[in-house]
Chains A and B, each alone.
Chain A
Amino acid sequence: MVQGTQVETRPTLAARLMPAQFSWAWLGVMPFFIFALMFLILPTAYLVIGGFQDADGNFTLSNIRDLFEPSILSAYWISIEISVASAVGGAVIGFFLAYAAVLGGLPSWIRPTLMTFSGVASNFAGIPLAFAFLATLGRTGLVTVLLIKFLDFNIYSTGFNLLSFWGLTLTYLYFQIPLMVLILAPALDGLKKEWREASSILGATGWQYWRHVALPVLWPSIAGTTLLLFANSFGAIATAYGLTGSSLNIITILLYAQIQGDVLHNHNLGYALAIGMILITALSNGGYIWLSARSERMRR
């Protein structure tokens, strides 16, 4: 048995600093914590506290009560509706796209291409996306014009308007679908082929396999990502602003107007608006995080 030789050098940096060792590391992470305090915690806390105060600084619930005023409530409601529509739409379409690329038996170059494109598209949000859809489905957009020219069909005659609920949802799908694809593809990888084969040999059809095995295994991922998409859409503003200016009454645009010009004539009500938003996105994202932890466990 070879004996370990004693290393006879000076003690390591860590040992030398043993009493002060911890302070080096703590010092090292201090900037981060200071930053997080200054730019994450304090601003949010300020708004939350402010929402419960009136103009003189006294504690009050009147701002929260005022949130339920019709115009504000409808802003929340429209935001929620658009977010639900684009989240569910993004989830369903994204699921089928991811399924096609991962399990659909397509040529092998399709999946990496789809993944790369999804990475780009999920970041192509905001004003440029609004421009792109205006140029495509606006009144003089390419698709609108082509449909009139070749099929004699004016989509605007059906009451469709890009600058509306459905138009915005359609536009949001452009970054919602890729996000779903990006998150779901690895989850689909986690479906072991042995499960499919075992279910088949036990007499199940493809449908029965999906109903009894694959979907139950996948649902935390699917549901969680849908919640993520919901929060993503709820907090979005640039795309909507680029598309409709400030005409569509969604909560983010309302808040934007409030910040710029105090349209509500009540600073503290603005804070309450923010509280409502934080609550909704926090719940939604919290659900996503909890569900994705569950799906990790199932993946074992």
Chain B
Amino acid sequence: MKESRLGAWLALIIGTLYFVVPLIGTFEFSLRMRRGTYSFDAYRVVFSDPRFQASFGYSTVLAIATIIVGVLLVVPTAYWVQLRLPRLRPVVEFLTLLPLVIPAIVLVFGYIRIYGSSSLIPFTANERSTDLLLTFSYVTLALPYMYRAVDTGLRAIDVRTLTEAAETLGAGWPRILFTVILPNVRMAVLSGAFLTFAIVIGEFTMASLLSRPAFGPYLQLMGANRAYEPSALAIIAFVVTWACMGLIQVFGRGKAAARRPAGR
């Protein structure tokens, strides 16, 4: 089977080239700001740009808000569906797949029309409420991943037995949810949270159409007006994404390692 090994190496090398070269190219470009020499000037400019700090901060705050709302929404739902309402499972799963089927731009189009300033629930009436709408939009985007992570995590811990054990010890359901269930799905929630963070930080379409000062629109603005800062920003974005995925692995592996002894 030696020839297949050669082909495998070939595919791997070509793949590696395709994926690594753009990163190298971007990094190299970002170092070109100062004429004639390589420097980190572009990064310096970016980090000291108040708009960078403002938009990155804004997106971070929104990401955290999204994660919190998402967890509060998803965990009880997944819990109740698994425990008491198994017949609802297909419906819930269908709903959590909808954000993957309906493009984000279509969704935000709908939000603008339904929740515009002249409608019943005028989310876009002022800035704060638009922020709220954007948060809910992000929750919708992150819903499929969040739900799948939490659902898998719950399935791995035998929710029914834990709940019944807690009940026989006298706990009411809010206490069960917060002190028994939630800690045990912490890992799943965390990995869903990091994925959500990565999604929100880089999101452009919804923030732009709702005219909010998020990181995505800031990136686009930089790209339109500046030469070297965009590459620096791209590298920063890549590092942030990598960090999020890496943290998911770290937390996911902790959980997986605990599960592995039970069999492959």
Contact = CB atoms under 8 A, between A and B. Distances in A.
B162 interface: no
B106 A206 contact: no
Chain B, interface size category, equals 35 or more
A104 B109 contact: no
Interface string A131-164: 1111111001111000000000000000000000
Contacts, number: 269
Interface string B70-85: 0011101101110111
A72 interface: no
A110 B238 CA distance: 21
A120 B245 contact: yes
B4 A104 contact: yes
A40 B88 contact: no
Contacts of B231: 131-132, 134-135
Given A120-B245, A241-B220, A132 B164 contact: no
Contacts of A238: 202-205, 216
B241 A135 contact: no
30 contacts: A12-B164, A12-B167, A25-B85, A29-B76, A29-B77, A31-B72, A33-B95, A39-B137, A39-B140, A43-B111, A46-B114, A47-B109, A100-B7, A100-B12, A105-B1, A105-B5, A106-B12, A116-B246, A126-B204, A132-B22, A132-B23, A134-B230, A135-B234, A136-B22, A137-B25, A234-B103, A238-B216, A245-B224, A259-B209, A281-B101
Interface of A: 7, 9, 12-14, 21-22, 24-26, 28-29, 31-33, 35-36, 38-40, 42-44, 46-47, 50, 93, 96-97, 99-101, 103-106, 110, 114, 116-117, 119-121, 123-137, 140-143, 173-174, 177, 206, 231, 234-235, 237-238, 241-242, 245, 252, 255-256, 259-260, 270, 274, 277-278, 281-282, 285-286, 289
Interface of B: 1, 4-5, 7-9, 11-12, 15, 18-19, 21-26, 28-30, 72-74, 76-77, 79-81, 83-85, 88, 92, 95, 97-114, 136-137, 139-140, 164, 167-168, 171-173, 195, 198-199, 202-205, 209, 216, 219-220, 223-224, 230-231, 233-234, 237-238, 241-242, 244-246, 248-249
